[in-house]
Amino acid sequence: MAGLELLSDQGFRIDGRRSHELRKIQCRLGVFKQADGSAYIEQGNTKVLAAVYGPHEVKGSRAKMLQDKVLVNCQYSMATFSTGERKRRPRGDRKSTEMTMHLKQTFDAAIITNLYPRSQIDIYVEVLQSDGGNYCASVNAATLALIDAGIPLKDYVCACSAGFVNDTPIVDISYLEESGGGPELIVTILPKSEQIVFLEQNSRLHEDNLSKVLDVASKGCKDIYAILDRAVRDHVSKVSNVANTTE
C-alpha cells in the first residue's frame, strides 16, 4: 500500500489505537444559558457544540407547520477555522446541506414528534474543530442537548463510524483514516431497542464483510451510549444537588 499505513502489523492505528478502540470522548451538558438545551462533545480532536431551542411556535413561514407532529429544524454549521484549509462558507454548501438533512431525518425518527403538533424544535450544531466523524459527533452532541432541553426521545441516539483496512474493521475513524479512500460506514442506532435509524456506506466493500463492519460500528454506538448515559446521570445528579441546597 502506498503512503500511510493505516493499520500496523502489530494491530495499531496511526494514532496508537487498537482496531476496536474509540477515541477519547469528553462531554458536558447545559453549557449555555440562552438555549433551552445545549451540549459540548469532544471525540478525539473533533469538537462539536449543539444547542436546542423549543418546542416553540413555528417561526418564519407558517406553511412549514405540520398539523400532526412537531417540525424538526436543524442547522449544521462548520466554523471557518475548523478545518486545515479555511472554509469559505460555514453553511449552505452542498456538504453542510446534506449533513443538515441527515440530522433532520435522524432526529425526526428519534424524537416523539406527535407530542407537539403545530410546533417547532430547532437543533443547531456547530463544528468548532473537525477531525473526522463530524456527523457522529454532531448526532451525539445533539442527543445530549435534546436531553438537556427535556424533549422526549424514544431512546438515546448514538452514532459511530467504522472503516475496513487490511481485512480488519476499525471503529470511529479519524480524518486521516477517512481520507485514505477505504470504505466508510456510518450508523446511527437507538441502543436499547437496537434499531438502526441511519446507515450510510461509501466506497467499495465486499458484501461478506458488511455485517462484520456493521457489528463493529454498532458496538461502538453502544460504547458511546454508555459514556453519554453516564454524562447525563452525572449532570442530573449535580443539578438536583444544586437545586436541593438552594431550596
Q: Taking CB under 8 A as the rule, does residue 23 contact other proteins? A: no
Supply the minimum distance, in Å, between the C-beta of residue 60 and other proteins. 7
Q: How many residues bind other proteins, per CB under 8 A? A: 30
Shortest distance, position 137 Cβ to other proteins, whole Å: 14
DSSP annotation string for 122-189: EEEEEEEE-SS-HHHHHHHHHHHHHHHHT--BSS--EEEEEEEETTEEEES--HHHHTT-S-EEEEEE
Q: How far is the CB of 138 from other proteins (least distance, A)?
A: 13
- Round to whole Å and give the CA distance between 230 and 192: 15
* Binding track, positions 25-64, relative to other proteins; x by CB under 8 A: ------xxxxx---------x-x-x-x-x--x--xx----
Instruction: Indicate whether 14 belongs to the interface with other proteins (CB under 8 A).
Output: no
Query: What per-residue string of b and e applies to 155-170 under the rule 16 or more CB within 10 Å gives b?
Result: bbbbbbbbbbbeebbb
C-alpha cell at 106: 435522524
Residue 119 touches other proteins, criterion: CB under 8 A: no
Whole-angstrom distance, CA of residue 202 vs CA of residue 136: 15
Least distance between other proteins and beta carbon 186 (Å): 22
Q: Which residue has the cell 437507538?
A: 190
Q: Indicate whether 143 belongs to the interface with other proteins (CB under 8 A).
A: no
Q: Is 150 in the site for other proteins (CB under 8 A)?
A: no
For 123, list phi and psi in degrees, rounded to 5.
Answer: -120, 115
Query: Residue 84, SS3?
Result: coil
Q: Looking at beta carbons only, is 106 or 120 nearer to other proteins? A: 120
Q: Is 124 in the site for other proteins (CB under 8 A)?
A: yes
- The smaller minimum CB distance to other proteins, of residues 101 and 199, is found at 101
Q: Give CA–CA dist 234/214, Å, rounded.
A: 30
Which residue is associated with the grid cell 486521516? 176
Cell numbers linked to 97: 446541506
75 forms part of the interface with other proteins (CB under 8 A): yes
Residue 80, interface with other proteins (CB under 8 A)?
yes
- Closer CB to other proteins, residue 49 or residue 171? 49
Residue from 28, 65, 66, 90 touching other proteins (CB under 8 A): that is: 90
Amino acid at site 10: Q
Residues near other proteins (CB under 8 A): 31-35, 45, 47, 49, 51, 53, 56, 59-60, 75, 77, 79-84, 86, 90, 122, 124, 126, 128-131
